[in-house]
Amino acid sequence: MDEIVLYDYWRSSASYRVRIALNSLGVAHRRVPVNLLEGAHKAPEHLDRNPQGLVPALRIDGLMMTQSLSIIEYLDETRGPAGFLPADPPGRQRVRALAQAIAMDIHPVCNLGVVGHVMELTGRGEAARAEWMVKFIGEGLSAVERMLEDPRTGTFCHGEGPSIADFCLVPQVYNADRWGVDMARFSRIRSIAAVCEALPAFQAAHPERVKPQ
């Protein structure tokens, strides 16, 4: 079988999600760093992998795949089932809603390209970035915390096993800590993230573990 290659960036939360999924399934792969700070994601070589100029991209089964959530579902469908999504439709809907609240509503407005443009438009540089991150990550996680006030929340976002929702939550918590978001008010999120972070698949995917030396 062809080698599986993950094109990612150590601090990218979308890449972090896919690393957790690959590790959870024990899928052997090689990582190729795409340095966002050097603009490598906009180079023709990477645009051939992902015309959106974003990471991650995964070469697998003779295909180049983009979009972290769809990649994770593909991995579960072809290398699992690993229960990344619950078996029951209402459970699947809830896990997708939690995952999307992060991946589609918090993450895009906090992306490098978007925030770089905000800094440029406001002319306030780092100060604008810091305020922006705290506002949008804080508001977004506040909504997620309320979504987790649900009897279906267990040790993890949904029940007793990690799902796509947890794969999105942990990288977002990493970012929240990075930008100094006040996390004390999010007790459910903190407790779920702590349980996940103790698992080897999450630990091996952590940015500090994969950061180029």
Ligand X SMILES: N[C@@H](CCC(=O)N[C@@H](CS)C(=O)NCC(=O)O)C(=O)O
Residues in contact with ligand X by the rule CB under 6 A: 12-14, 36, 41, 54-56, 67-69, 103, 111-113
Q: How far is the CB of 108 from ligand X (least distance, A)?
A: 7
> How far is the C-alpha of 23 from the C-alpha of 20, rounded, in Å?
5
Q: How far is the CB of 84 from ligand X (least distance, A)?
A: 14
Q: Mapping DSSP to helix (H, G, I), strand (E, B) and coil, where does residue 5 land?
A: strand
Q: How far is the CB of 154 from ligand X (least distance, A)?
A: 25
Comparing CB distances to ligand X, the nearer of 13 and 163 is: 13
Comparing CB distances to ligand X, the nearer of 54 and 173 is: 54
Comparing CB distances to ligand X, the nearer of 111 and 142 is: 111
32, HSE (Cβ side, Cα atoms, 13 Å):
15
- Encoded tokens for 126: 């780092």
Q: How far is the CB of 107 from ligand X (least distance, A)?
A: 7
> How far is the C-alpha of 62 from the C-alpha of 59, rounded, in Å?
7
Task: Of 9, 36, 13, 22, give the one whose Cα is nearest residue 170.
Answer: 13
Comparing CB distances to ligand X, the nearer of 153 and 169 is: 169
